[in-house]
Structure 1
């Protein structure tokens, strides 16, 4: 039963495209290939340039003594987050488009710990035709669901689903090159190479998350990624994606006889999702599975000088979630219609009001399988069941107020850490 959701989602995604009658239907009409809404502005701009972006302000309430800091990643246990992202796009020519992002974020956990970070994206798109295009630079990878939909107006919860923070480390950005386009009218493809992760930064409870490069340093290895997105089923989007490559960026470990030994520590991640939208209803099912090699050597590479123990990484991981939401606002007020199809002006646009309630169930395990020689060592293991219930209020399509409560249960008790339920509040906006 532990992989029920993953197997169910994988089956739906793999077989529906072949048994369903194709119909021309695009769900993400205001999003360009592999990008969020704000990131896509330059591709739909009538001008030669565009300035856009998004922001979010989040607060997380924990019960007294309920903060689990063992992930060593403040983004996973902060109390306050402030994030502002700006995109600048420029059309060098009709077929060559430059796009960039500068994201600034500040996080803190009460008055005890804080962190600020600046992340950059910069890439060129070479647009040839609907079947064949290219993207080169520091860019988001086409994997999972959230990595291409990471702007807060595009997902319900205050924070991104835990499955797509711990198993797929969204937001996942790497230096690389990618081809994309349409194989047939309803089937989109992405295929690329990129620099890869760095295993020396891996931590037990977050799997490969802390190994994301977030820089433009030329890598020592090459990884591969690909995604297919199918829109041929009415009101539905289906996708499969994958990533494979080494995570040792030229690192070596010492052997018993004192020599240095190199290793690859290849990681493979496969993911899929199904998204259905009809009127005021939305359903998303998502699943992912990962494998990591040479975990014993990663243990040696990451040994702490103080206690002599390294990080115990899972050889296998998995995660899945199912989420559904429904806009209940029409039950309480009549839907306001826009005049002549034109968008209203001002902060509050009655024709765009939404009040969706949502519920999401997640199941994930960062240590589904562990190397036999490492089972004796202490580790931070996330073997999680998470139920999230919440609501959004959207006074217009580019602003959202969020609240949700998470019932969290870690089935692994080896670390002696009790997982606390949390209450989250957030505000997100695009501009």
Structure 2
């Protein structure tokens, strides 16, 4: 754990150096040249702010990234061995660096290297490496293409996953346990604008690996970087409406098999496990003056759950995963920047450096309600078996302080009610604190 903290502290310091250089100017042949170009805070479809930097850069290349450091007091009444560590972790360290290169005006390379550490107390830890690497071909405004490992266009957070883009310290449970953000797959996506008000995306990707599923996090652990040929193709459509100022309406989905050609034996005969997934999501986001409103809803179905129970058994033929055949989740969130009201009638004292900018400061209060169930329906033959289930109502209240547009300090309290009466359940009420930045 100490090594991981040291590593991420080093990365954070390097990020501060890079950001400081963004504001540094040098004189070359009487021209003022910025050593590293600033973010323009614009988004390419399917990508968050830092990930989009190359698409709006005046240079042929760009370097950007983000980091998160989140802390949760340890609870002693949970047992992470009964489920995914992500349900119980006490600290999270996440750091990502993007490198983009413009080969031509129409052909752009973009890549990400992300490393993430999760800890529970001091004895339990887990790390994960996430890679993005893809080409975009900008043929016309109505037709563009993306090929490689890229984030899927589903839900809200999966394409807005950088810490300054959402209020809470950690991503909502609806968009972690039902929509498994951040969700990256290998595939091809076509996207563009149908009109000034309507845009679309249509992706075809390699699909999830059902052998990795864990009861408490539904399909989340099926995400993995694979370089083999897919046994089936999943479809990921999205349709967006932005015809009203400051309003975004979006609907999206993910449909395909996750069995990846695996078989189990039933009565001595091999039977294929398809693990069909139907996952549909929609969100609305509206900005009004200093307020922001976001609502997200999602509904999913998973086939062959009785076969998946057999497929996910360990090497001793035990501990199969009881997965929900039907799941749902929704959330409603409102936030407001109260700093303009506190400053009303008072002059702003100008102060600007790589950590603070008095003109960009925000102090936002927010509240969010979530309702989700990872086991809304269960195969009848599996109902009596032990499982980790999230049948949750969650109220979150908190605040964000943006010292500048790209740096945020966060804190929130969650009141968590799990209606499932099993012996093991995800953590109860918690306080979360964190720091996030992009560059």
**TM value normalised by structure 2:** 0.87
For 1:10-29, what per-residue CA distance to the aligned partner results, in whole angstroms no more than 9, with x for missing partners? xxxxxxxxxxxxxxxxxx97
Aligned to 1:250: 261
Q: CA, structure 1 residues 190+333, in 2 after alignment: closer, same or farther (shift >3 Å)?
A: same
For 1:180-204, what per-residue CA distance to the aligned partner results, in whole angstroms no more than 9, with x for missing partners? 0011111110001000001111111
For residues 162 and 336 of structure 1, the distance between their equivalents in structure 2, rounded to whole angstroms, comes to 41
Deviation at 1:366, TM superposition (A): 0.4
Aligned to 2:72: 60
Where does 1:263-412 land on structure 2 (aligned, <5 Å)? 263-306=273-316, 308-334=318-344, 345-412=353-420
Aligned to 2:195: 184
Aligned to 1:175: 186
1:96 and 2:96 are equivalent in the alignment: no
Where does 1:126-205 land on structure 2 (aligned, <5 Å)? 126-205=137-216
Aligned to 1:147, the other structure's residue is in SS state helix
Deviation at 1:104, TM superposition (A): 1.3
For 1:230-260, what per-residue CA distance to the aligned partner results, in whole angstroms no more than 9, with x for missing partners? 111122110000000000011100111x221
Aligned to 2:295, the other structure's residue is in SS state strand
Where does 1:33-52 land on structure 2 (aligned, <5 Å)? 33-52=45-64
Q: Runs of 5+ in structure 2 lacking a partner?
A: 1-39
1:415 and 2:423 are equivalent in the alignment: yes
Q: Pairwise CA RMSD of aligned residues?
A: 1.9
**TM value normalised by structure 1:** 0.89
For residues 147 and 178 of structure 1, the distance between their equivalents in structure 2, rounded to whole angstroms, comes to 15
Aligned to 1:325, the other structure's residue is in SS state strand
Contact 1:126 1:133 in 2 (8 A): yes
For 1:68-93, what per-residue CA distance to the aligned partner results, in whole angstroms no more than 9, with x for missing partners? 52563323322121111000000010
1:425 and 2:437 are equivalent in the alignment: no
For residues 336 and 276 of structure 1, the distance between their equivalents in structure 2, rounded to whole angstroms, comes to 29
For 1:344-387, what per-residue CA distance to the aligned partner results, in whole angstroms no more than 9, with x for missing partners? 55321111110000000000000111111111211111100101
For residues 309 and 237 of structure 1, the distance between their equivalents in structure 2, rounded to whole angstroms, comes to 43
Aligned to 1:55, the other structure's residue is in SS state strand
Deviation at 1:330, TM superposition (A): 2.1
Contact 2:153 2:238 in 1 (8 A): yes
Aligned to 1:350, the other structure's residue is in SS state coil
Aligned to 2:128: 117
Counterpart among 217, 221, 230 of residue 210 in structure 1: 221
For residues 66 and 85 of structure 2, the distance between their equivalents in structure 1, rounded to whole angstroms, comes to 21
Q: CA, structure 1 residues 29+400, in 2 after alignment: closer, same or farther (shift >3 Å)?
A: closer
Aligned to 2:51, the other structure's residue is in SS state helix
Q: Aligned pairs, how many?
A: 399
Q: Runs of 5+ in structure 1 lacking a partner?
A: 1-27
Aligned to 2:428, the other structure's residue is in SS state coil
